[in-house]
Each structure stands twice: as structure tokens, then as C-alpha cells.
Amino acid sequence: MAKYIFVTGGVTSSLGKGIIAASLAKLLQARGLKVTIQKFDPYINIDPGTLNPYEHGECYVTEDGAETDLDLGHYERFLNIYTTQANNVTTGRIYQTVINKERAGAFLGKTVQVVPHITDEIKHRMLLLGKDDKYDVVLTEIGGTVGDIESLPFIEAVRQLQWELPEEDVMVVHLTLIPYLKAAKELKTKPTQHSVKMLSETGVHPDILVCRTEEPLNNDIKRKIALFCNVKQEAVIEAMDASTIYEVPLLMLREKLDLICLKKMNITNYAEPNLDKWKVFLDKLKYPRSKVTIGLIGKYIELQDAYKSILESFVHAGAMNEVKVQVVNVHSEFITHENVAEKLQGFDGLLVAPGFGHRGIEGKIIAVKYARENNLPFFGICLGMQMAVIEFGRNVLGLNEAHSTEMDAKTQYPVINMMEEQKKIKMMGGTMRLGAYPCEIKEGSLAHQIYGTTSITERHRHRFEFNNDYLEQYEAAGMLASGKNNDTGLVEIIELPNHPFFIGVQYHPELKSTVESPAPLFVGFIDAAKKYNEQKSNMKSSSMKDAII
């Protein structure tokens, strides 16, 4: 029987509950336990697939094609495991299930209520992953902040489980904030006291308090928090701001968060934590040998979370190449033929981001043209790949105003068009081509060189694709379709062999990049950017020498 750790949050949002949960899970995994994490989100959407990235950040897609919260990306990146549809549950999904059951007559004669029907469904899903002996510990992050109306049924379900299951099988870790008041030069514990009080009023008592703080918590403060919040002093954990999220597992190890959990859960069969690979990665990340600057061309750049997995993939690929990757966001809406050189000339590589809809499209196409013509390393993901196809159509093949039918349904040259099976779909939620599909890579291509294999699977999230009616024309002019799905003929990868690094992929390689196994295309792209940067500095220094001579 698995043990269950629930992670709740208090005082304010954005304290990094997902990172704390992933770090704790990492430590338990490093001690030899089989661990998974899930997230319960209190909103009514069935999944975040229909949410605007501005609202909610990126939508993370799992192998099995679930559109999930971006915290699942952290779980996978930290633990190097795959999560599934079962790892992300929303209030909407819970209610949908209960209401469907009601319509099917499952509760005949009964009034269907939040307690027990909704909470029963929540508990069922909370325990689900722990049912088949696959895991020793299942961590559950409860989205939102304690005190929110929306999260009450989830907290109530935790309360019931604390009461129903053996004491050592359930524990609650509560994440709070200890603000530092500069004027008073003091750390303040009151918000934490209030948040624990609020949690206790719902009948849930935390076993551990993880306290986010900018200043170290001395013993006096810890004692005070322990006394007022009714937890053991050793269970008051300091979570200082870290320079990178990947340092948090080591900070939590120092604070013995894992050991306190193991003790409470009465788990005695564990090893010394094996974090060797993690530490090597962290060392490379913290002490890079050089730097590259990448322009991220997108339209959701105001919110960093919108491109979370891409940014993290750059971190992994940077460490692998021992370079610091500085990512500069460029809003595609403001790129024009006139200012493109000025905006992009300082970069060592361009990534044109995924996206939907019309806004900012022309800027992306202009950016691709600049990269193609100036031998600047280019990497296009999903919509970014589609833009590269459109750019090539317009500027190399002379297909004036070639477009995607997503932006221009009546274009004369629909070089990107809607996938056949998408045409009959009317509902928006969960209906794209989602999740892992295989791709066969052409031998001798750049993609082959980078992946080191001809068969891969990668994750997807799109409705449109390369229009194969134009394939011959493209290949004759030098754009190679180097990766395809053999079942459908769908073009998965395009590249320009006469360019140092120009690659576009219909899939999302960023979704499979982890600390222990960085996405090959990101590693290859950063390697190309490094070479581009070195060439640039060699040229600079030789032209300086010429000037001196």
C-alpha cells in the first residue's frame, strides 16, 4: 500500500509549491523509493487546454496526450518519469464524472452533494495511482491557496483521508511565506500562523511547514512558529530563495525534509540519497565556460510561464554544453522588415515559438527569413516550424502570400493546412492531435545526426500540418522533410541542408527534456549557437588584428 503526502499552500500563490513537491519527490526517489506526483487543480475547466497562456502559463502535454498544468512539467523534469492523464485532476473533471454518474442513475434515490459524493470522487482519484503497488509514495499537490472557496472540497477530502487511513500513511506538508519587513528588520510569522489556523479550522493539521523566506530562519523563529502552529520544531523547514529551481532539492536535503517525512511515514527501508547525476548537472549549470544569447520570438512573452518547458530545456541543454544560455524575449508583433536586423543581430540563435492564431505571425515570418539568409542557427517549434515553411514558400518558391489556413482560410497557396481528421471536429477541448506519436528520420540528415537514431517518438499539440501537395516543390528547392510519421505521411521535421543549423519540428521536443536526459534538439541547437558565437568572436578579433596591422 502506498503512502500519501499532500502538499498545500498558504498566505499567497506563487510560492513554488510545485517545485517543493517535486524536490521532495526527487529526494525520496534518490533514496530508492518509487515515487510519483499528481496535481489537483481547483478550477472548473476540465483541463487547462482551453486556457489562455496569459492566464495560466503553458499547457503541458503528457505522453498519453493529456493537456495538463505546467507543474507536471516540473515533476517530469525533476523525476525523469512520465506522468499521465491521471496525474492532473481538476474540479471540472470531478464534477463531470459525478454528474455523468448521476445521469446514468448511479445514485438513484439520493441527493447528490459535495460531501460525500464530490469528496468521494476526489478521494478515489487521490488514491488511484497508489492502488497497484507501482509506487511507495504518491505526492499530491493541491492547487490554489488554503482559504480559497474553490479548494475546500479538496482539503475536506484530505481531512477524511487523514482520518480514514492509518496515521503513518498520510501526511500534510504546508508551504507558507515568512515575509521580511525591511523597515523593522524582522521576519514576520503572523501570516503563517493565520494560514495554519485556517487550515486547522477545516480539520487538516499540517505535519510539516515549509517556510519560504528571503532571510535565514534562526532557531528562535523556528521555535516560535512551532509553538504557535503546533508542529515540531524540526518540522519547520526553511526554504530560502534559490538561484535556480534545480538547487531546491539540495536545500531541502540540508533541511532534512525527506528524513522527517520518512520518519512520520514510518518508512525505514531507504538508502543514502544518490544525487550524483543531479550534482554534476548543477555544477555545469552554475559554472558555465561561455555564454550564448538566444532570441525567443513569441507573442506571450510578458508571462515567462507561457514558455516554461522551452526555457527549462534551454537550462538543460546549456548545462550539457557548459554554456550559459541567455534567452531574450522578442515580441513578434513588433518585428518589421525595417527593424529586423537591428532587433536580431546580437543573437547566436533564434527560436520561433509555438502558438495559435493570427497575432504576431508576420513578425515571426520576417524573423525566419533573417535567420535563413544570415546563416543564424534557427529552431522552429510547431507554429515556428509552420512559419519556416510559409517563409520558404513565399521567399524561395515565389508562392506569394503562401499561408496557413489557420490564419488565412482562403489563401491561394495553403502550404500549411488543417489535418484531415481535424476538419470534422467541432468541440475545442482536448481535440487536437495530442501526445506521443512516432517519427521516422531520414538517414544522413541533421536530425539523424542529432538524435543518433532514425526512430523517435515526440509529443504533439496541433491541428495544422505541412501540406504534402507542395512537398516535391519544397524538396526540389532545398528544404528537406527529414522526419515523417510513416502511418500518415505527416511531415514532422523540416531542415535546410545548406544552412549551418536550420530545423523546424511539428512536435514539441521541450516537453520531454529533463535534467537527466535533455532534449537532443535543444542540445544540438545550443551547440550550433556556441559555434556561431565563437565564429563571430574569431571574426571580430581577426578584423581587430587587421585594423592594428
CA distance 302 to 353: 14
Query: Parallel, antiparallel, or unpaired: how do β-strands 455-462 and 433-441 relate?
Result: antiparallel
Closer of 237 and 511 to ligand GLN (Cβ): 511
Which of 153, 355 has the CB closer to ligand GLN? 355
Choice among 255, 382, 439, 460 that is catalytic: 382
> Is the CB of 199 or the CB of 352 nearer to ligand GLN?
352
74 in catalytic set = no
Of 416, 398, 504, nearest in space to 464 by CA: 416
Beta strands in 42-90 (DSSP E): 60-61, 67-68, 88-90
The count of C-alpha atoms lying within 13 angstroms of the C-alpha of 15, restricted to the half-sphere facing its C-beta, is: 32
As a whole number of angstroms, the distance between CA 65 and CA 432 comes to 9
CB of 365 to ligand GLN, least distance (A): 14
The yes-or-no answer on residue 316 being catalytic is: no
Among 340, 383, 389, 439, binds ligand GLN (CB under 6 A): 383
Region of 24-32, 275-283, 455-463, 522-530 interacting with ligand GLN (CB under 6 A): 455-463
Residue spans of beta strands (DSSP E) within 323-476: 323-331, 349-352, 378-381, 403-404, 414-418, 433-441, 455-462, 464-466
Question: How deeply is 453 buried, as exposed, middle or buried, from its count of CB atoms within 10 A (0-12, 13-18, 19+)?
Answer: exposed
Instruction: Please give the size of the binding site for ligand GLN, defined by CB under 6 A.
Output: 10
In angstroms, what is the minimal distance from the CB of 59 to ligand GLN?
9
| Residue 20 found at the interface with ligand GLN (CB under 6 A) | no
Select 237 or 387, whichever has its Cβ closest to ligand GLN: 387
**Shortest spacing between CB 381 and ligand GLN, in angstroms:** 7
Task: State the catalytic residue, choosing from 121, 156, 406, 510.
Answer: 510
What grid cell was written down for 16? 513554488
Q: Are 147 and 195 in contact (CB under 8 A)?
A: yes
Would you say 4 and 157 are in contact if contact means Cβ atoms under 8 Å apart? Answer: no
Q: By CB under 6 A, tell whether 273 contacts ligand GLN.
A: no
Residues within window 330-369 making contact with ligand GLN, judged by CB under 6 A:
354-356
Q: Which of 71, 121, 312, 406 binds ligand GLN (CB under 6 A)?
A: 406
CA distance 98 to 95: 5
Q: In whole angstroms, what is the distance from residue 432 CA to residue 419 CA? A: 10
Q: Return the residues of window 220-249 that contact ligand GLN according to CB under 6 A.
A: none
Provide the β-strand partners of residue 484: 440, 491
> Out of 21, 22, 122, 382, which residue is the one contacting ligand GLN (CB under 6 A)?
382
**Which amino acid belongs to residue 525?**
F
Residue 461 in contact with ligand GLN, rule: CB under 6 A: yes
| Residue 510 a catalytic site member | yes
Q: Whole-angstrom Cα distance, residue 124 to residue 130?
A: 10
CB of 79 to ligand GLN, least distance (A): 25
The set of catalytic residues is: 382, 508, 510
Contact residues for ligand GLN, defined by CB under 6 A: 354-356, 382-383, 406, 461-464
